[in-house]
Amino acid sequence: MVLKRRSAYDRDDPAVAGFEDSDLDVSQDSVENGAAGASQEEQPRDPAHVLFGEQLVARGLISQTQLGEALLQQEASGKRLGNLLVELGVLDDRDLARELAGLFGMPLADLSQVDPEASALQLVPEAVARTSNVLPLRLHSGRLEVVVADPLDAEAIEAVRAAAGRDVAVYVASASDISRAIQTSYQSLVNVEGLVEQFEAIDALRRAAATVSAAADDDDAPVVQLVTQIMAQGLRDRASDVHIEPQGDRVRIRFRIDGALHDVLALPSAMGPAVVSRLKIMAKMNIADRRRSQDGQVALTIDAREIDVRINTCPTMWGEKAVLRILDRSRVLFRLEELGMRPDTHDLFTKLVRAPFGMVVCAGPTGSGKTTTLYATLGEVNQTERNVTTIEDPVEYIFPSLTQIQINEQSGLTFANGLRAILRQDPDVILVGEIRDSDTARIAIESALTGHLVLSSLHATDACSALQRLVDMGIEPFLVASTVTGMASQRLFRRICDQCKVEYDPGVEEIAFYEANAGPGAAPIERLAHGQGCNFCSHTGYRDRVGVFELVRMTDRIKRLLVAQASVDDLRAAAEEEGTRSLVQEALGLVGGGVTTIGEIMRNVYGH
């Protein structure tokens, strides 16, 4: 266990180096004494508050003006000063945790390196830990060691003590770190072995396919519980996709997290058909048809969060494979300025989408964030005086003020048919979720020609390739040149984990890659950053992703080249001469800023 102890006022206190676990002796009596102090703290102008605030000012964490404003707001809200400063965005919650630990003489827990013991987690139910935002760490000398964000929150500490049935010793960490650690420590897949054993016992008596399917519809069946746990764990691990893959003597379960697949679980091969049958039942798919690919969708509530799960099954030589796309409805949608575009790219893109007519296309492979960009763009163009209509497959997020149409190919509602219907609905702005075929492409182009603003996505490697792809779909080059006003290509790169990021001296190959692709005027690099791996990033060195964008505006020169059927390389060279920065160049700017790594660029974008 990695623990750091801080003195009340000196973050360089030499006591940090010599601190041992045995030095901790926080009794239940001291917790209760702290609770007594908490009741007095409710007075907004308690001198202790002012003293604590002055100490924050003296350490340079906040300004005197910020302290004065926070104290005024505290009088109205009654909130604790530290929490209020964090809510106002003037104090980092990790700085607050460090100062509180020093003030109360409690050790500071580094949750990026601490691994909670299973015995401690079993003593405190997950619901209690989440409600109280308290993480149990381990049992030591008969006491349960726990981590709290607020040492004065006696109610939360007492709830954990009552649930565990023993005294607690208190550590301090930031509220965000505790929430993140709870999310990763309480696993939904802890009892998988028991479910497998139950299934194998039942499977010996249920050999017929019909019987297996019936078992997959029983809420108490092991397969039903297993599928629910897999989806719950995927949601907690921030997985965008879940892959259930039969492979001879096993069924492999993988999660796609931040764009990369990770092995999570291996099941006996006999469970594969039952798991897929359960998914088909949930999505109202045909469980008897195992010879063709099927698509379905199901709405669920997991951990009090509403999610949509898109399910696709496909026959393979070892059985049916299923891929689940998890769409979290509770996720906050990004605004256009939050996507990560450079200021000049953002200004140009905003200008293009605010035009009264024309066509703007977002290009990139599957999972590159095109839909997120389109939804952020809708927030920019959605105005009361405009009729904005979307046609999508599926409708991932609901906008109450928009008209949104869900594709249903079984009933004959395709992108092409739906787009024709939209044109009779007096639209101003049309969002086409994806241009998949020549009919949809032609109708979208004609819509832009007749005075509508059309937004859409297209699968292509970069912006200039997307222009060529429209031509390959049968759209005349002069029509593409006349209607398309801008092409945006994008990728998502994994961010270096801010908890374990360290600098290092780049190797010869990395320097050569940087110099060959960074473009003219790029500053030379001396140091780069990467993640060493910690609990918060599952020891991958990466956590979350950042968008990188390449935007090509349809200038007169590019229009002439397109009409003359120039190659993609000629179009790309012309765009770069007119100021377009390639995806590789944009991404290398993030490398220089310590946001991502050269390895991520080579994984996502081809570089010379």
For residue 437, pLDDT over 80 is answered with yes
What is the spatial order of strands in the sheet that 294-302 belongs to? 260-268, 250-257, 239-247, 319-328, 305-316, 294-302
- What pLDDT is stored for residue 218 in this prediction? 62
For residue 44, pLDDT over 50 is answered with no
- What pLDDT is stored for residue 427 in this prediction? 93
CA distance 26 to 569: 68
- What pLDDT is stored for residue 556 in this prediction? 95
**Residue 451 vs residue 217, higher pLDDT:** 451
- What pLDDT is stored for residue 483 in this prediction? 95
Burial of 176 (0-12, 13-18, 19+ CB in 10 A): middle
Q: Report the pLDDT averaged over residues 171-175.
A: 92
Return the SS3 of 57: helix
- Tokens describing residue 325: 């796309």
Return the SS3 of 539: coil
Beta strands in 349-442 (DSSP E): 358-363, 388-392, 403-406, 429-432
Q: Pick from 3, 110, 7: which is nearest to 55 by CA? A: 7
Cβ-based neighbour number of residue 111 at 10 Å: 27
- Tokens describing residue 474: 């049968």
Please tell me which of 138-152, 212-226, 333-347, 462-476 the model is most confident about, judged by mean pLDDT.
462-476
Q: Where do we find the tokens 């209509």?
A: 389
Burial of 593 (0-12, 13-18, 19+ CB in 10 A): exposed
DSSP 408: B
Amino acid (one-letter) located at 446: E
For residue 23, pLDDT over 70 is answered with no
Q: What is the pLDDT of residues 454-469, one digit of tens each?
A: 999 999 999 999 999 9
**Residue 267 vs residue 215, higher pLDDT:** 267
Model confidence at 203, pLDDT cuts 50, 70, 90, reads low
- What pLDDT is stored for residue 333 in this prediction? 78
**Count of alpha carbons within 13 Å of 441, Cβ hemisphere only?**
22
Burial of 141 (0-12, 13-18, 19+ CB in 10 A): exposed
Task: Name 81's Cβ contacts closer than 8 Å, sequence gap at least 6.
Answer: 49, 52, 53, 70, 71, 74
Q: Which of 165-179, 202-216, 478-492 has the lowest mean pLDDT?
A: 202-216
Angle at 345 between CA 341 and CA 348, to 5 degrees: 135
Q: What is the pLDDT of residues 408-432, one digit of tens each?
A: 887 889 899 999 999 999 999 999 9
For residue 315, pLDDT over 70 is answered with yes
- What pLDDT is stored for residue 11 in this prediction? 34
Angle at 69 between CA 66 and CA 75, to 5 degrees: 140
Amino acid (one-letter) located at 408: N
Q: What is the pLDDT of residues 494-534, one digit of tens each?
A: 999 998 999 999 988 888 888 888 877 777 888 899 999 98
Cβ pair 296, 311 in contact under 8 A: yes
Q: Over 217-236, what HEC string results? A: CCCCCHHHHHHHHHHHHHHH
**Residue 82 vs residue 10, higher pLDDT:** 82
Q: Pick from 359, 377, 374, 361: which is nearest to 484 by CA? A: 359
**Residue 480 vs residue 535, higher pLDDT:** 480
Burial of 356 (0-12, 13-18, 19+ CB in 10 A): exposed
What percent of the chain has a predicted confidence (pLDDT) above 70?
A: 88
- What pLDDT is stored for residue 77 in this prediction? 80
